[in-house]
Amino acid sequence: MPVRDAVSEDIEEICTLIEEHAVYEDKHDLKLDRAQMSGHLFGPEPKAWVLIATPPGRPHEVAGFAFCSWNFSTWEGRPGIWLDDLFVRPQYRRHGLGQELLDALRARTTGRVEWDMQAGNEKGEAFYAQLGAEPVPGWIRYRWRR
């Protein structure tokens, strides 16, 4: 199976994937602190977790990732998953790895798997529609920063 849980030795690759995704989305100045990110993911009280996708037959290469945390729906009364970032490197796309990552997330919860997507991402919209995912009508996301 080309999807596995990330381990602390993956921190450089995880941060590089996040930075590559930022460049892909035209944000060229993102540079992450590896030690700080390692603490958030693999420290004594992890705040998030990562799944790594590897190309079939090449388990030591990293093709993409899903960066996640748990959430909880009071109305459903059960936990779900917040997918903060899903990225497959361009050379590995169209081989089913995005689907594999999302299937692995779906298998980890009986609750909702939710995420945001930038408006106008037609390829993303088509991909998520193919999975059976739908936009949430009537909801607007707010963000409050320090």
Note whether 55 and 95 are within 8 A (CB): yes
Amino acid type, 46:
P
Note whether 64 and 87 are within 8 A (CB): yes
Is beta strand 78-88 parallel, antiparallel or unpaired with respect to 113-115?
Answer: parallel
User: What is the C-alpha separation between 28 and 94, in angstroms, rounded?
Assistant: 25
128 is known as an active-site residue: yes
Q: Which of 24, 92, 128, 142 is catalytic?
A: 128
Residues serving a catalytic function are: 128
